[in-house]
Every structure is written in C-alpha cells, then in structure tokens.
Amino acid sequence: DTEVTQTPKHLVMGMTNKKSLKCEQHMGHRAMYWYKQKAKKPPELMFVYSYEKLSINESVPSRFSPECPNSSLLNLHLHALQPEDSALYLCASSQGYRVASTDTQYFGPGTRLTVL
Amino acid sequence: TQLLEQSPQFLSIQEGENLTVYCNSSSVFSSLQWYRQEPGEGPVLLVTVVTGGEVKKLKRLTFQFGDARKDSSLHITAAQPGDTGLYLCAGLSRTNDYKLSFGAGTTVTVRA
C-alpha cells in the first residue's frame, strides 16, 4: 500500500479564518512533507519532517504552521491567509529524509485551497 | 535556475502516435522519479530509476536513466487519450541537499 490520504479535498476560507489540513500515511515512513503547487507549475517544498521533528522550513510565512503529532500524521494549520495563498497543497511521505539517496516520495491527492 | 530542465513544455499529439519527454541536468542524481498528474490531483508515481543506463518499461511507457545519471527520458508508444496529463520528472541530488528537485513539467494532450 502506497497511499497517502489528505483531508479535506477542497477548502474555501476567508482571510480571518483558522483552518487545518490533515495528512495521513500508514507505510511506516519517517519523513513527511508539505508542498504548495500553483496551476501548471511543479510543487514547491514548504516543510520537511523527519522522525516527527521539523527538519526544513523553506522560509514559509508564519501564517502556515506545521505539526507532526505522530509518525503517521501531519497537519498544516492555516491562519490569516492571503488570496495569493490559494493553491493545491500536497502532502508526501518517504522512508526517511536523507536516509537513502534513492528514497522515493509518495504524494497524497492534495487539498485545493481557495482564500477569499 | 532549475536543477532539472524538462522539455518540451507542451506536447499535443494524435492518438496512436509516439512521444518522448526529456529531463536534463548538469548535476548527478542518485535517483530520479517520473510522476503523472491530473488537474486538481496529486502526482502519481510512475517509476523510480537509480542505476546509470537503467531502462524500465511500464506497459507502453519506457523510462531511461542516462549513463552519467544526469538525464532521463520518458517514451510513450501508441499514446492514448488516457495518457493525457502533466508529466513531472523529479530527483534527489547532493546539489540540492537531497530535497526533491522537480522539472518544470510537460503537459501532454492526446487527441482522440
């Protein structure tokens, strides 16, 4: 099973709202990732968690707050977003970040976020 | 500057024709993946190649990894409308601290 699940599938929020995106995997992977993807562009890395600790923050604004409650779950808390934050948010997982140079990332179906 | 240069950006062909997508870099990659993505969905892994000169086949899709592990290609034989999508190459390289580097993507449209 190489499935990564994400909820919700779609999210519409105002600029003053607080919402959370959720991601789950049961492949025993120890690295989990958040990406942001604009239409017809490749995904852009936001955060990397390795063994439930934040390893990489690609200078993401603080209105995005990641959380890794356990090795299977990854959340992205959203607060005071801007319309330009509207995008497809993708979660991915792999065996381990920088553990094996041949590691493969598996992506979830994404959450389509619209900020009004 | 992108680590992986992917070409062409767009490809529109008739059903039954063949197509090739290229991914090139000046950096060495320890592994390279090809993904296919449909609008509003996440990238779906097609293949991972790790050995220089490796060739992998997945039904009508053939993937090659260059001998020097700096380039890769995806060839589709007898394309079908179901092959329509965004094709992304991505790889792990020491140059990018083993964060996944993506090509810009190739939008493939197969007309019935």
**Cα-based torsion angle of the residue sequence A96, A110, B100, A58 in order, rounded to the nearest 10 degrees:** -90
The shortest CB-CB distance from A110 to any of B42, B50, B100 is to B42
Q: Which residue has the tokens 């394309």?
A: B79
- Compute the distance between CA of residue A52 and CA of residue A40 in angstroms, rounded to an integer: 31
Chain B contact present for A106, CB below 8 A: yes
Does the pLDDT of residue A1 top 70, yes or no? Answer: no
Q: Does the structure show a pLDDT above 90 at A9?
A: yes
- Across the interface, of B41, B45, B105, the residue whose CB is closest to A104 is B45
> How is residue B58 written in tokens?
């997945």
Q: What is the mean pLDDT of chain A?
A: 94
* Helix, strand or coil, per DSSP, at residue A85: helix
Residues A35-88 have pLDDT tens digits of 999 998 999 999 999 999 999 999 999 999 999 999 999 999 999 999 999 999
In chain B, helix, strand, coil percent, each to 5? 5, 50, 45
- Cβ–Cβ under 8 Å, residues A104 and B48: yes
A and B: number of Cβ contacts within 8 A: 61
Q: Is the pLDDT of residue A102 over 80?
A: no
Please tell me whether residue A41 adopts helix, strand or coil conformation.
coil
The residues on B that touch A, with CB distances below 8 Å, are 30-31, 33, 35, 40-45, 48, 50, 86, 88, 90, 92, 94, 97-100, 102-105, 107
pLDDT at B9 over 80: yes
User: What are the two backbone dihedrals, phi and then psi, of residue B95, each rounded to the nearest 5 degrees?
Assistant: -55, -35
Residue pLDDT, tens place only, B17-69: 999 999 999 999 999 999 999 999 999 999 999 999 999 999 999 999 999 99
Q: Dump pLDDT digits (tens) for B67-81.
A: 999 999 999 999 999
pLDDT at B2: 79
Name the token pair of B49: 């190649």
Determine whether the interchain pair B30/A109 forms a contact, defined as Cβ–Cβ distance below 8 Å. Answer: no
Here the tokens at position B109 are: 């449209």
The string of DSSP codes covering A17-84 is: -EEEEEEEE-S--SEEEEEEE-TTS--EEEEEEETTEEEEE-S--TTEEEEEEETTEEEEEEES--GG
